[in-house]
Amino acid sequence: MPYDDSPPPTRRARPLTVAAALAAVSLTAAGCGGGPQSDGAGGAPPRPGADTGSPTAPAGERPEPSKTASASDSAEPLPQGPLTGRTVVIDPGHNPRNRDHTREINEKVDIGTGRKECDTTGTSTDDGYPEARFTLDVSHRLRTLLEAEGARVRLTHDGERPFGPCIDERARIGNEAKADAVVSVHADGSAVGNRGFHVILPAEVKGGGADTSKIVRSSADLGARIAGHFVRTTGSQPSNYIGGKTGLDTRNDLGGLNLSTVPKVFVECGNMRDPKDAALLTSASWRQKAAQGMADGISSYLKG
């Protein structure tokens, strides 16, 4: 299918209860999908020959200029808005160059309850649109929307690094920023027919350097609000294969969640291996809706 790679818009300048957000998730509409088997790896490994990490953007893609990791905070004066004084960290899953650094990303790091690979390449659509490109595009769009409300936004990376960051560093960036919310953006690589987004929540984990006891409830609130707004804004259904059709899944094996000391969730926006979901994920207009749904959920959570 052709890629729709219109650029993100130029950067410029109603609270929900958890129950209400979950009720919104039950609405039916056309779906999208996914869930990682490692920290955002997507369900199935990339198919042979799939371009899962090419630093070259798909034809016609004109992304926002990258910022370096050290300067990935909001670089321009922010407008005053309802999120003024709040900090959000956006974690674009994977890195387009991970595939060129398999030795480095396979090195295991401590996730508190054990050890896990630094990072993964991510998945791709059948015709080679990489998850790592998708996550950067959606993250740029999400940053723009949140900054327009006055939030200070930081990305864990902007594709400028040779690989990673590793999952423990991704968690550390959010912790050190004392973020009010962290959202890790992903897409899944599951079987054809598996469709529908879901939000991954941290389980209560304590061991080694991991202790999520203080963020489980707040993360669940954040995740439920994002799920509620995501279904409304995108028209997509909750996953039909993960989370019991609630749009929510709780996991204890993701280092990015286990090591977080601030409210954090993963958003799996769709299944790149299902043709119907892939048609959504490769559409710039749908990616804008996905970013808007996440932004509305984050904003609802931060406003209380």
Catalytic residues: 268
Virtual torsion, Cα 272, 62, 158, 80, nearest 10 deg: -110
Virtual torsion, Cα 65, 70, 74, 77, nearest 10 deg: -100
With contact defined as beta carbons under 8 Å apart, do 167 and 118 qualify? yes
For the chain, what's the residue count? 304
Strands 181-188 and 87-92: parallel
Give how far Cα 156 sits from Cα of 24, 72, 133, 206, 271, Å: 30, 7, 15, 24, 23
With contact defined as beta carbons under 8 Å apart, do 184 and 170 qualify? yes
Q: Rounded CA gap, 195 and 251, in Å? A: 19
Most distant pair of Cα atoms in the chain: their distance: 48
Residues ≥6 apart with Cβ < 8 Å to 83: 146, 149, 150, 151, 299, 302, 303
With contact defined as beta carbons under 8 Å apart, do 53 and 96 qualify? yes
From 203, 292, 196, select the one nearest 251 (Cα to Cα): 203
